[in-house]
Amino acid sequence: QLVESGGGLVQAGGSLRLTCAASGTPQSISRVSTLSWYRQAPGKEREFVAAHTRGGATSHADSVKGRFNISRDKYKTTVYLQMNSLQPEDTGVYYCAARTLGKTDYDYWGQGTQVTVST
């Protein structure tokens, strides 16, 4: 299970920090490899934002590079998305996704958290 938190309403130029906590049996938690953030703006398809592998590698979409930063706790069960210099085009529902070892698709998705950036 993935539970996101930290969304809200912020003015352009502001910051928010999203949190995604993974829960489950110790066995299932140990099999989580990549934790990622996706977002979906109204009327648009879901798009990749950032990813963090179990080994520590990170990647960010070009649209958020230099403004957003993904990080993960030392226990590998919680992932964060620090969002700075937010713009109205960052508005959308942000989803956390988890991929388990050996899988190419994401196995689990959170319920999403709304981020709204006003002008």
pLDDT of residue 75: 81
Q: Which of 88, 100, 94 lies closest to 114 in space, CA to CA?
A: 94
Tens-place pLDDT, residues 36-91: 999 999 999 999 999 999 999 999 999 999 999 999 998 878 999 999 999 999 99
Does the pLDDT of residue 118 top 90, yes or no?
Answer: yes
Asked if residues 110 and 41 have their Cβ atoms less than 8 Å apart, the reply is: no
pLDDT of residue 28: 85
> What SS3 string covers 16-39?
EEEEEEECCCHHHHHCEEEEEEEE
pLDDT of residue 30: 85
Instruction: DSSP letter for 55, please.
Output: T
Q: What is the mean pLDDT of residues 15-35?
A: 91
Burial 54-88 (b: 16+ CB within 10 A, else e): eeeeeebeeebeeebbbebeeebbbbbbebeebee
pLDDT of residue 24: 87
Q: What is the mean pLDDT of residues 97-105?
A: 93
Tens-place pLDDT, residues 13-22: 999 999 999 9
